[in-house]
């Protein structure tokens, strides 16, 4: 007896206006060497951040520099705003979601004060990292170019 397992695919969207790049291009080795998982980064041209997938907010860091969410198929995603921005103790960020909130790619989850980050000499890349890679069969994303938030990037397929 054979069981057909249907592929569980979810669409990934650009979470912020800007230029898309692979994690390998990020200056922090924690991300560029994919120690936390695979994903992508966006160098933002605007400070409004949206959810990259349909899901539920699983965590909002007290320093507001990172937000966790879980997709409907169980993909855990970390959205990390900037490099070494934890040191700013939330100053350049305003968060609009809380743990347990359901979100879609049209949900504004945060704003980033990009000029303040520049003043503090912090890189502003937004990293989107799929942290439970053992549950993921494949990630198929377009990783270059300028895009606006809400643009379809590709899909993540779970096991």
Q: What is the distance between the alpha carbons of residues 56 and 70, in angstroms, rounded to a whole number?
A: 5
Query: What's the average model confidence in pLDDT over 93-106?
Result: 98
Res 4 pLDDT > 80: no
Rounded to whole angstroms, how far apart are CA atoms 124 and 131? 21
Q: What is the pLDDT of residue 3?
A: 53
The pTM of the full predicted model, rounded to 2 decimals, is 0.93
**Cβ–Cβ under 8 Å, residues 141 and 9:** no
pLDDT of residue 145: 86
Q: Does the active-site annotation cover 80?
A: yes
Q: Which fold has domain 8-158?
A: Glucose Permease (Domain IIA) (2.70.70)
Of 65, 80, 122, 149, which is the active-site residue? 80
Among 52, 92, 74, CA closest to 157 = 74
Question: Residue 130: how many CB atoms within 10 A of its CB?
Answer: 24
| The pLDDT of residue 29 is above 60 | yes
For the chain, what percentages of helix, strand and coil (3-state, to nearest 5) are there? 15, 45, 45
85 pLDDT above the threshold of 50: yes
Mean residue pLDDT of the chain comes to 94
Where does the pLDDT of residue 1 fall: very low under 50, low under 70, confident under 90, or very high at 90 and above? very low
Show the CA angle centred on residue 81, arms to residues 73 and 149, nearest 5°: 65
**pLDDT beyond 70 at 102:** yes
């Amino acid at each position: 007896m054979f069981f057909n397992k249907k592929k569980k695919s979810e669409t990934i969207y650009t979470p912020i206006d800007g230029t898309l790049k692979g994690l390998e291009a990020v200056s922090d080795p924690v991300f560029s060497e994919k120690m936390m998982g695979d994903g992508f980064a966006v160098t933002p041209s605007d400070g409004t951040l949206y959810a990259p997938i349909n899901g539920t907010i699983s965590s909002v860091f007290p320093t507001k520099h990172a937000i966790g969410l879980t997709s409907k198929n169980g993909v855990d995603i970390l959205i990390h705003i900037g490099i070494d921005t934890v040191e700013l103790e939330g100053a350049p960020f305003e968060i609009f979601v809380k743990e347990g909130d359901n979100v879609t790619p049209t949900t504004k989850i945060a704003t980033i004060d990009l000029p303040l980050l520049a003043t503090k000499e912090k890189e502003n890349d937004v990293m989107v990292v799929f942290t439970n890679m053992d549950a993921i069969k494949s990630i198929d994303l377009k990783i270059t170019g300028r895009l606006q938030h809400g643009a379809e990037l590709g899909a993540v397929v779970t096991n």
